[in-house]
Amino acid sequence: MIGDITIPFAPAPVSPVWSALRVLLQAETSRVEQITAASGAADRILSIVRRGQIYESVYDLSKGTLKEPSKVLLRDSLIELYRSSLDLLASTATQLNGQESWATQFLTTLTDPNQNVVSKNAEACVCDSTEKNFELLTSLHSPLRRIDDRVVQLLDCFEGMGRGDREHAMNYISNVQVDEIHVAKKELRTEGTCEWLVQHPSFLRWENPSSSSILWLNGQVGAGKSFLTSKVIDRYRSRPKDALSSENDEDFAHFYCDRSLVGKKDIKSILSSYIVQLLTVSHHRDRWHKKLLMFCKNAAASRRSLEISECERFIRDLVNTCPRSIIVLDALDECEQRSRTQLVSFFNNLVRDSDRPVKVFISSRPETDILELMDTSSCIQISTSDNQKDIETYIDLKLGQVGLSPVWKRQGVQDLVRRTLLDKHDGMFKWVQLQWDQLEPLNTETDVKQRLKQLPEGLVASYEEICSRQDGHASTILMRAAMWVKWAKFPLKTEALLYAVKIAGLSDSRAA
């Protein structure tokens, strides 16, 4: 009765099935096994019909023609399953009044092997659909990429409205072109050298991201510390920009000190440059840009610059917004005496108190005050005495270059020069460069051997020899340049020094 009332609301294929089930249920079911078998048949067949409906709807099997072989196979399997189910229902009513053992056999046959066939064919359709969806997603990759690029351009357009203010704020803080300075250093570095430093066990231990530490590279004058530092800078400066947006990104800032140039030897200039560089990769640069923009406006109004304490606070806050920060400083010994003390103290405190790992790399000569300032508990030291292979590489490169005099093609001459320079360089890369500059123009083996016997010891003697070899007008120009450098009230740039020497030359000519 309930079935007759509800069946009009059921999906279309259920009506003929219900008619067969009603005959089955109205049959004589006096025994418990027969009742159980009939109920099981009804439940299983209704489940089959409902499952078939889902397959028909999902894979659109009602179409007159199907192109996909997997769908054709699935439809044929469903038809066979429906036929088997109807055959089972048709024979059930007759069998209910037959042998007593029929119920057991009937329950066994409820697990129709056709159902397994249908399931397998349905899985094949799923595979086909998945493959087609993948192809569809692949075809959308290029259009979506173009859309993404246009969105980025649009966002850049909006961002550009405030970019001028940000650039003005950055330049207000520091206008030192650190990247240009680094490129110049990198171009002078001999290819294939300085690799030993980034492979050194102490360097790798310092680089370990789990803790904060200072790595101090110390060496005498002319040992090539700046070239080694440029190699370290390259290691982090050339990281892919995509990595900066990940959870493992890092802040990075570097600075080359130079006692002969204004703005490259005092703590305020150094820390201000660090702030500008750290802001370019900070996680919260928008928030920081707003804070700095406000500060710059107020500072400009009051005509003042960042104070050292403000620089230190900004840097401390910035490094705590990033998973890891790396700060590089070349030629600490080139800084003013007071700035040295302040810088080392700041770095020691930063490493000790930072919430996130901070890596500080410093190169300098082993000056007494620097030795005393370094905190040995968190400082790892490397000496440039390990640069033997770099010097060998440089010598081999020079001996093998094209365009040398024929005398340099003789293996005996090459071996003699290589052996002599390697025995006397004493770790000074610059000394080897200066000696090669004197050896390269020689044209005979006798001259080469004579020069090798007269090599000056150390850099000071080498520079004195170079100066003493200047005669006539060249010597006069050299002396003028030295006097300008020594007595100028402030360090002169190269262009200004050349102009000053030129003016002095014109004055001398008029006096004569």
| pLDDT, tens only, 147-198 | 555 545 544 544 544 566 666 667 767 888 888 889 888 888 888 888 889 9
| Res. 15 pLDDT band, cuts 50 70 90 | low
CA angle 312, 316, 321 (to 5 degrees): 150
Q: Report yes or no: 175 and 252 within 8 Å, Cβ to Cβ.
A: no
Residue 245 has a pLDDT of: 44
Average pLDDT, the chain: 75
Residue 362 has a pLDDT of: 94
Residue 412 has a pLDDT of: 93
Residue 154 has a pLDDT of: 45
First to last CA, the chain: 134
Residue 276 has a pLDDT of: 86
Paired strand residues for 218 = 364, 383
CATH number listed for the domain at residues 174-384: 3.40.50.300
Which residues lie below 8 Å from residue 24, measured CB to CB, with a gap of 6+?
Answer: 38, 41, 42, 89, 92, 93, 96
| pLDDT, tens only, 446-487 | 999 999 999 998 888 888 888 777 776 777 787 788 788 777
User: Quick check: 291 pLDDT over 90?
Assistant: no
Residue 488 has a pLDDT of: 76
| pLDDT, tens only, 345-370 | 999 999 999 988 999 999 998 888 88
Closest alpha carbon to 93 in 80, 106, 79, 82 = 106
| pLDDT, tens only, 205-234 | 898 777 889 999 988 888 888 999 999 999
Residue 23 has a pLDDT of: 60
Q: Could you give the CA distance from residue 81 to residue 113 in angstroms, rounded to a whole number?
A: 9
Residue 244 has a pLDDT of: 44
Residue 246 has a pLDDT of: 46
Q: Could you give the CA distance from residue 225 to residue 220 in angstroms, rounded to a whole number?
A: 9
Strand 379-383 and strand 324-330: pairing? unpaired
Q: Could you give the CA distance from residue 356 to residue 361 in angstroms, rounded to a whole number?
A: 16
| pLDDT, tens only, 89-136 | 677 656 665 554 555 555 455 455 555 655 655 666 666 666 666 666
Q: What percent of the chain has pLDDT over 70?
A: 63
Identify the weakest region by mean pLDDT among 6-10, 272-276, 444-448, 497-501.
Answer: 6-10
Residue 219 has a pLDDT of: 83
Q: Could you give the CA distance from residue 272 to residue 308 in angstroms, rounded to a whole number?
A: 9
